[in-house]
């Protein structure tokens, strides 16, 4: 990695494009890096050098990933009995999971908290705020010290997990008749993609729930009634909402939630999932993957279509590796598909991976991109004085995370970004005259 010596050096490298983040002028291309044949994948999420995967009935399994994209099984998280852990989310070294078992016993947990590492896991707590969830839907997310999840049909819950040993139910919204596919935080609300129970249509494509009351969740209504369809997944950039419909890709201005306006619609069948990077939207559907580009104040352009013969049901990004992982539900690419998205991250890929000197400390940021806080992990091959700083793109130091002597081995520090604006930041770790540079992308 390139060492950054000063503000001018950082700025010059950015201007020259040596560190990327220069958006391509053309439509770009998606390139296949790997195809990993697999059975059913209900959800997956990356953790350190591996991935958690949940499929059909085996619990949540952790695999490490080598440079050839070979997955090695390490352990399975399964509380036993009639429990079936399905939907989950990972935050630093904590994993929050929901029980989708069909034979739930009253008085036993539905919500589980685990401490996880690359080699083992430990159950920390369990809670029964509801009955079991529906394994096909019922999303779960973490946001600002709480976990939100939906339980079919129509019940929403918020659990305070600031003390992972003692999770507490702090709010619920029941009997909304929702079938929920996605939850995303927006300002002091939650945007819930929804449809009515027992039908494929609804009079609104997403519900807005106020989330800033410490004791309750309050519905503000359902919106985007202009499309007689329902929404599978959503993402937002600022005050613009991007939604995957059963009948296409719809974009809304949500600056005023009482007056939501559609600003773009691309007609296609069964859009399933969406991920965003650098104002590019990657949208999986029933017959392939679309790429769109958003430019403020409201221009959306369809760039390309990467066709396939089956559905893209899940997508998870590894932006730091210029990869987008997709789960294809059968067909010639059935299983996990790894796509090279370097045309959109702006990072050039050489013919060979960069070789790092043995004594150079490793540096990793998780999650990346992040919203509120990021965990910075690094490994020292020898003891010494360590300095770890965060810089903005102009070379201004915005935070010193470490400035002390440390022993050899694995270390971790959390960066609370506070009021720092959304954008790209650089991490510089120095020890014994050796430097490592990383990057972190903060989202709104």
Is 374 found in the same domain as 225? no
Match 């050098």 to its residue by tokens.
Answer: 49
Is 411 found in the same domain as 372? yes
- 420 burial class (0-12, 13-18, 19+ CB within 10 angstroms)? middle
Q: What is the pTM of this model?
A: 0.71
pLDDT of 3 strictly over 70: no
Interatomic CA distance for residues 179 and 160, integer angstroms: 23
Is 109 found in the same domain as 199? yes
CATH number where 247 lies: 2.130.10.10
**pLDDT interval class at 344 (50, 70, 90):** confident
Is 380 found in the same domain as 288? no
Sheet containing strand 261-267, edge to edge, reads 231-237, 240-245, 248-253, 261-267
Q: Is 377 a member of any domain?
A: yes
Is 438 found in the same domain as 402? yes
> What percent of the chain lies above the pLDDT cut of 90?
23
- Single out the residue in 312, 345, 378 at which a domain terminates: 345
How far CA 392 is from CA of 171, 199, 222, 319, 417, in Å, comes to 37, 49, 39, 19, 12
Among 26-35, 42-51, 130-139, 424-433, the range with the most confident prediction by mean pLDDT is 42-51
What tens digit of pLDDT does each residue of 388-414 get?
888 887 778 888 888 776 777 788 888
Q: Is 321 a member of any domain?
A: yes
By residue range, what is the domain housing residue 372? 7-11+359-442
Match 């995303």 to its residue by tokens.
Answer: 184
Is 186 found in the same domain as 61? yes
Is 404 found in the same domain as 316? no
Interatomic CA distance for residues 196 and 39, integer angstroms: 30
Q: Is 354 a member of any domain?
A: no
Structure-model confidence comparison of residues 11 and 156, the more confident one:
156
- Single out the residue in 285, 320, 345 at which a domain terminates: 345
- 288 burial class (0-12, 13-18, 19+ CB within 10 angstroms)? buried
Strands (E), 174-298: 178-186, 189-196, 206-210, 218-223, 231-237, 240-245, 248-253, 261-267, 271-277, 280-285, 288-295
Count of domains forming the chain: 2
**pLDDT interval class at 343 (50, 70, 90):** confident
**pLDDT interval class at 158 (50, 70, 90):** very high
- Single out the residue in 345, 378, 393 at which a domain terminates: 345
Is 386 found in the same domain as 245? no
Give the number of other CB atoms < 10 A from CB of residue 153.
Answer: 17
Per-residue pLDDT, 22: 34
Is 412 found in the same domain as 339? no
Q: Is 1 a member of any domain?
A: no
Is 278 found in the same domain as 418? no
Q: Which of 370, 392, 389, 374 is nearest to 442 (CA)?
A: 370
Is 329 found in the same domain as 405? no
CATH number where 387 lies: 2.60.40.1930
Is 368 found in the same domain as 306? no
Greatest pairwise CA separation for the chain in angstroms: 64
């Amino acid at each position: 990695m390139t060492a950054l010596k000063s503000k001018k050096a950082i700025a010059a490298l950015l201007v020259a494009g040596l560190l990327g983040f220069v958006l391509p002028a053309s439509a770009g291309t998606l390139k296949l890096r790997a195809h990993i044949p697999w059975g059913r994948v209900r959800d997956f999420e990356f953790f350190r050098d591996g991935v958690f995967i949940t499929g059909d009935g085996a619990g949540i399994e952790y695999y490490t990933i080598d440079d050839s994209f070979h997955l090695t099984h390490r352990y399975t998280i399964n509380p036993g009995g009639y429990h079936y852990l399905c939907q989950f989310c990972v935050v630093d070294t904590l994993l929050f999971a929901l029980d989708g078992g069909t034979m739930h016993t009253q008085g036993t947990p539905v919500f589980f908290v685990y401490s996880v590492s690359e080699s083992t896991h430990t159950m920390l707590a369990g809670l029964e705020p509801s009955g079991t969830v529906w394994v096909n839907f019922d999303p779960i997310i973490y946001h600002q010290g709480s976990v939100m999840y939906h339980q079919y049909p129509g019940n929403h819950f918020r659990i305070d997990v600031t003390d992972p040993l003692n999770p507490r139910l702090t709010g619920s919204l029941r009997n909304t008749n929702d079938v929920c596919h996605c939850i995303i935080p927006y300002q002091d609300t939650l945007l819930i993609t929804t449809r009515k129970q027992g039908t494929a249509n609804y009079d609104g494509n997403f519900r807005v729930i106020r989330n800033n009351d410490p004791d309750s969740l309050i519905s503000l209504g359902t919106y985007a009634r202009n499309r007689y369809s329902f929404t599978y997944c959503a993402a937002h950039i600022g005050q613009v909402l991007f939604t995957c419909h059963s009948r296409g890709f719809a974009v809304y201005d949500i600056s005023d939630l009482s007056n939501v306006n559609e600003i773009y619609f691309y007609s296609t069948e069964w859009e399933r999932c969406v991920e965003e990077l650098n104002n590019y939207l990657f949208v999986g559907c029933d017959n392939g993957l679309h790429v769109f580009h958003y430019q403020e104040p409201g221009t959306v352009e369809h760039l390309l279509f990467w066709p396939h013969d089956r559905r893209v049901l899940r997508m998870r990004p590894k932006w730091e590796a210029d990869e987008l992982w997709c789960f294809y539900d059968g067909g010639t690419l059935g299983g996990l598909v790894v796509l090279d998205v370097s045309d959109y991250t702006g990072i050039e890929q050489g013919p060979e991976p960069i070789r790092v000197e043995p004594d150079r400390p490793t540096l990793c940021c998780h999650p990346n991109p992040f919203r509120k806080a990021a965990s910075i992990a690094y490994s020292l091959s020898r003891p010494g004085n360590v300095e770890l700083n965060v810089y903005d793109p102009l070379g201004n130091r915005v935070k010193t995370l470490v400035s002390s002597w440390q022993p050899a081995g694995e270390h971790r520090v959390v960066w609370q970004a506070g009021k720092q604006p959304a954008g790209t930041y650089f991490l510089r770790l120095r020890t014994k005259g050796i430097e490592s540079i990383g990057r972190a992308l903060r989202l709104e």
